Structure 1
């Protein structure tokens, strides 16, 4: 049993291993499936995190419980052995001022949802389940235990038949652990430890590795020549005309004047009436395939994005996506991965990893090394020792950057950047802007100080009203066909209202800060925080905002090409179009150096020499599939999915 998005939204399917026959069990946006012990009922979550049970004989569904809050959906449900109860991980909220709370075990009566809300159990006092993805609880077949991940270790909690704890939490592993499951006799647990599959007895003791021979091949891209009518290579301000970009083995072999007589077996890409740029970056994303499916990655390509930086998500899911893209199984941009948000004992997002102990943080960082993270991010309730140790580990063990929401104490903790100009935080002294959106000289000076090497990822949510200045953006097939329906609905709504003078003034105040930092020699890379905002399109709204704010087309484009490559330490391979570098190219139907709004018309990309045509990607998501799912108010669905977010996306 598994979930995929073959009909446009994620659904649950069952495959008969003997015959190969596949059956749709629940469609229209259903994830985290779990079959009842008798196989007659399916528990799963809808896109807003509601716990749903479907009778497989009659096809009827009942909503048993709404999620306790936002910040991502709850964890995967688990049935009690007798099929009367369901347990899942959900988060409480301790006050109205701050979003954070504890990841708890929530037990819901499968027959009577009315009793579900009050049945919340902590795994231990003031302690959270690690995250709300696949960290448990998982009920043992004999009903005596629930397996959970706490402090990134595998633990078991003795429970009564009603799911309430009847003893203390027991830690089974000293190594990092994820994704626990039980053997049929309840004596053994299977779990992931970094990149290894491991088995351990319920009484603890020595764990052993289950060998799973896996290999993968990265397909070699065909040698290609791209005939560019205009080329901005990212190395300066000059736009060259009528040039050939020769690509061999996925890298740029030469950039030369066009030769119509060029021979050989090179594949040809005709961009003779178009503009070619270095592949665009989105330096603040969150891979969210658990609700978006393939729409997120494909959607980014359609808007010219060839490299996406994850700034938080589920670690093993990101490793899967990175491999799937690299091996050609998934159409998407190159993914630089971050694991979960390393946080304190309370968390907000489902992707927040809770820590109260140094041993727990050590395990989380060890799995970061095993899964080869490209960035390490701490979050809002992480104490200073977590921030400092995470930065030290990122630099010394991984050789990568570290960052957070905090300008201060981020820089004092040894971090390298902030992931926004201003976002949620608890320390009042750390705010980079005033309530009216202004920043003073100390902020500019920190980001631009000689030798400080402290950078910013800008996420101008205030650019969202620019949709209303160009309402035709909502009619683009990349919106109507590729975007998730809740994002498309938000775009249509935003496009229907022109920006007000007050909104444009707020936007200008923000972009003035970025302009000042760049002018003083600081490094600002552009990101979006998608999917908090519509995927792909939001990067172009941010670029338009920077251009409106006084940056030239070249200066704006550097924030999504040269500067992010430098920030993430890969400037030797990415960011410009030069011989020897990876062939990441974005093809624009227009000339953004004379008409910057044409930049959004990205018609093709090369990612590592592999071509993707926007029309081909769009055609994989026929518009008709969206309307097959009647009923949901997609604007409402989108608001529920984004509630308790860190920032105001404006749409």
Structure 2
């Protein structure tokens, strides 16, 4: 299951007497033929890489049935019934009698005077931004009905829909007819790449032409974004809006300005320079007026310009808030339209449609009523029980490495080193060290192991002789402590090489405190104290030392690819650079942009697109035989032939079949911790707790057999199947930390979150890790021998659930013994976290370590690494295979669909997730159109805010009905300055004693001492903003509306300020008008429901897990009292809320973050 499905080399063959025509279908369905002499065929086949032959053999020559553009079946129907609308793009027919607008992905018409709307498009496709043709017979609009965005037209008489463009990986917005009706101008960009710019298409077809050419030698970061084209009445001039660069968080103004383009001369001219920017220019039919949107202070309004004099005035203010601070997928303002007599303009704002008089005499509402059944995909909702079994299966093995004879496997489980006889032996610990253990390496003779460790006082390099699979004597190799990584034995077994740096920078998290060096240590030393190593060279960004046939050289992976040096550190040689493997998640095989010329495709190409060079491999390792390299890009592994040449070769493996040298993709669902076998005949890696072996010779033999079968026209059913590597699960058991004791928490106010239940004075009985009784004080039975705690005056609530937590505990290949972020969150009352996109798989081990009690922290759930467009999902079966990464290997129960591709791809993913009982959540991506299509498709989670405010009843009620959990993460909200900047301005987090205790100094100082526009190491910190510039109260108001309409919203701190940030997020959400009980429900039971854990978490009820908070002040009277935490109980253990010292059932001192406090304790001398 690790071998990727094949891509056919051709769709059709045509043979004449002396020539062969090879045909490929382009995404538009047209067959493109290329002819070559038959005499060239033999040569062509001989030059194909083996992977191409395998792919063609696997394809079997059958074209098959093309996938449906939108494969998802609508099984639900939402009864839309509204007189409000959100972001309605509106246009008036040329005769002034009809209005067309969009709502929830369908198009509607109605009389100009208003009234009942008539739907003209329907189904799961998302149709938007309609504009009438000059003759009023057609409407142009953007639709994803072909699986991705394209420009379409609909004939209003026949309802016939026609594709104008046929892109498969593009985005389009704001189409507009030319006055003669012969052309359509729209903005086009790539799905995750080039910014949208103006393109012009003929209504009868063709690939169109770009109306923008970037200046020669344009500086990086100066790409422009163009939208909102509007023609002058004579068609000569195009008015549009443009900005340099893409959106920015915490944006500064101005953003966009209005420009004109002369279609006769090609000249461009800027038409505005306003601080408040200028967007969505709209020219009147008589050519006298131009209306556009602009900000004044913190609100958006419409301005009107007399085109003859250039004079301007405000026409309507405030109106719809613009989308200048997001991707603006539906333009920076909704489409608006002049009446044919140019006396009024019709625009949408305030959830309504309005006629605004050009002379400034006023505005009149156009009433409308939309009643329709909206097609929606199946619901995806599951509940996951939390087990109390004494043991559980460990989710991950790490750093697996096979002994040279292939008879033993060394690996890491729960951060300890194990060895087992392969393949069926019982794993045994190698040492009794209490430290974190990592990265084992076998000696060439297989008789010894080396590995590295980490503890709060630093790490060391260790070794042990192995006899019959058992360690006989564990000895330190290094005399001093430090940070050691990636040990490897020299080919003769005399030396152990390792990367070494200082321990203090890692221990205290104060940054780099010394140079990383490549060292070697004597392997045969018997010293019990270790030895001083010998310097080979500074690492200088190079890593993963290893060897090949030439034992005089040390090979390393670097930013420059595969390099090697001599033992004295000199003579660096560069051997191979591997790039590629990116992708934009398109549905078609070759990601062709069929409506772009070749020249334009080259200009628009971005690093995310598969035909570009793409990102460099993060790891390149030469095989022991020296002729092939292993390359890792993202989570996938490749083999690449190393050409013998005098200079370094760069091989692009974006498509291994067309690489410049033979290459092969080994994985289809990814993996971690790759390694060569000692003889170079196998590659090993692991994924979850599975260990995988890829036999290079067996794969080649299978390729040859398939090629022969194909050559001999063997029927498909009788041909050999593609090679599949061997896989074995390494089943390790962890022991759950479940206390064995009973406690009664007495006389506290109980806010149970069981509905609106509040017990003014009550008792809670906790046995082991679950609640066994709850009720009014004195009404519950107190078990004999139970510990009793009188909590009179306190308030008990369930522990908080953070549905969007980023705990960021990863520290490379070597873990932390106690991540400080886990302590900070637990101390601030967060007892359950869900991390939606962890970037790495380290969280799988951290989750297990928390479950065993080896790490103190909240319950840790996650999606694991997200599913990105770089996963390049090809079809429904590939989506099913890829999602097994999470359902079968990572056991995450959830995934993060992180803008993984166009609509077709996203529907494949949600289908596979439903089949595998995974609950996906998604990245908001500053894209309201994306958010709505995902809701229509049935995605159950939405991370980050919807950037448009205010939301009308159409979206609010639909979100509520869908039961999609909306977690707006207001601390990093879209559409305006981040809410965290508000709190940094108003609060004093630097002086918070709990943060001072549990937060690394560097982290706290960087975030709280000074607030700047950008971090020293990149990224956005924020800056200073007036209070009225913040948008989070408006976003919170919309979120509260979703909740009160019966929907779900979650509290997600985004890891912005570990621990306290959760309270800031909750308080920010309360600014939208939530009652205190509503806010508490959102932070507890609704959060638990969002991640499928509501049967065990989220409320104080009999049978549920004992995760609760004891507060000194009542949060039902003031939501800010959530931070008055006296005790935190998690899984039945009670901790002091300030120190995390365990109070029950065992008294223990609280954990400490190394080097806290960091205040200098020495004094300098003073002068005069």
Q: What is the TM-score of this pair, normalised by structure 2? A: 0.44
8 Å contact from structure 2 (residues 669, 882) kept in 1: no
Say which SS state the counterpart of residue 540 (structure 1) adopts. Answer: helix
2:1074 matched to 1:563? no
Distance, in Å, in 1 between the alignment partners of 2:790 and 2:649 is 63
> How has the CA–CA distance of structure 1 residues 87 and 569 changed in structure 2, closer, same or farther, with 3 Å as cutoff?
same
8 Å contact from structure 2 (residues 990, 1005) kept in 1: no
Cα distance, 1:278 vs structure 2: 0.6
Cα distance, 1:410 vs structure 2: 1.5
Distance, in Å, in 2 between the alignment partners of 1:113 and 1:505 is 57
- For structure 1, the residue ranges without an aligned partner over 5 or more in a row are 67-75, 91-104, 346-352, 423-431, 631-651
Distance, in Å, in 2 between the alignment partners of 1:401 and 1:335 is 17
Cα distance, 1:52 vs structure 2: 6.2
Cα distance, 1:58 vs structure 2: 6.7
Q: Which residue number corresponds to residue 463 of structure 2? A: 16
1:76-155 alignment, distance < 5 Å: 77=544, 79=546, 81=548, 85-88=555-558, 106-107=561-562, 120-122=577-579, 136-148=619-631, 154-155=637-638
Say which SS state the counterpart of residue 686 (structure 2) adopts. Answer: strand
8 Å contact from structure 1 (residues 151, 361) kept in 2: no
2:994 matched to 1:478? yes
> How has the CA–CA distance of structure 1 residues 20 and 271 changed in structure 2, closer, same or farther, with 3 Å as cutoff?
farther
Q: Which residue number corresponds to residue 215 of structure 1? A: 733
Q: Which has the higher contact order (CA 8 A, sep 6+)?
A: 1
8 Å contact from structure 1 (residues 151, 354) kept in 2: no
Distance, in Å, in 2 between the alignment partners of 1:323 and 1:580 is 23
Give the number of aligned pairs. 578
Say which SS state the counterpart of residue 284 (structure 1) adopts. Answer: coil
8 Å contact from structure 1 (residues 466, 541) kept in 2: no
8 Å contact from structure 1 (residues 53, 62) kept in 2: yes
1:200-599 alignment, distance < 5 Å: 200-205=694-699, 207-209=725-727, 212-222=730-740, 223-227=742-746, 229-259=748-778, 262=782, 264-291=784-811, 293=816, 294-314=819-839, 316-345=841-870, 355=873, 361-370=879-888, 371-405=890-924, 406-422=930-946, 432-433=947-948, 438-441=949-952, 444-445=955-956, 447-450=958-961, 452-461=962-971, 462-468=978-984, 471-493=987-1009, 501-502=1026-1027, 505-530=1030-1055, 533-599=1056-1122
Say which SS state the counterpart of residue 366 (structure 1) adopts. Answer: helix
Say which SS state the counterpart of residue 332 (structure 1) adopts. Answer: coil
Say which SS state the counterpart of residue 373 (structure 1) adopts. Answer: coil
Distance, in Å, in 2 between the alignment partners of 1:35 and 1:172 is 24
User: How well do the aligned residues superpose, as a CA RMSD in angstroms?
Assistant: 4.3
Say which SS state the counterpart of residue 565 (structure 1) adopts. Answer: helix
> How has the CA–CA distance of structure 1 residues 274 and 112 changed in structure 2, closer, same or farther, with 3 Å as cutoff?
farther
> How has the CA–CA distance of structure 1 residues 27 and 379 changed in structure 2, closer, same or farther, with 3 Å as cutoff?
farther
Distance, in Å, in 2 between the alignment partners of 1:63 and 1:621 is 32
> How has the CA–CA distance of structure 1 residues 86 and 224 changed in structure 2, closer, same or farther, with 3 Å as cutoff?
same
Cα offsets for 1:387-427 (capped at 9, x unmatched):
212211222212524433231331233312211114xxxxx
Q: Which residue number corresponds to residue 613 of structure 1? A: 1136
Structure with greater strand percent: 2
Say which SS state the counterpart of residue 398 (structure 1) adopts. Answer: coil
8 Å contact from structure 1 (residues 561, 576) kept in 2: yes
Distance, in Å, in 2 between the alignment partners of 1:584 and 1:592 is 17
> Which has the larger Rg?
2
Distance, in Å, in 1 between the alignment partners of 2:1158 and 2:477 is 22
Q: Which residue number corresponds to residue 238 of structure 2? A: none
8 Å contact from structure 1 (residues 338, 373) kept in 2: yes
1:61-72 alignment, distance < 5 Å: 62=538, 64-65=540-541
Distance, in Å, in 2 between the alignment partners of 1:164 and 1:52 is 29
Cα offsets for 1:265-323 (capped at 9, x unmatched):
22445543422111101101235322383112222111111110120125642322222
Cα distance, 1:258 vs structure 2: 3.4
Say which SS state the counterpart of residue 512 (structure 1) adopts. Answer: helix
Say which SS state the counterpart of residue 216 (structure 1) adopts. Answer: strand
8 Å contact from structure 1 (residues 465, 494) kept in 2: no
- For structure 2, the residue ranges without an aligned partner over 5 or more in a row are 1-436, 439-451, 466-472, 520-532, 583-608, 652-659, 700-723, 925-929, 972-977, 1013-1021, 1142-1148, 1162-1168
> How has the CA–CA distance of structure 1 residues 622 and 315 changed in structure 2, closer, same or farther, with 3 Å as cutoff?
closer
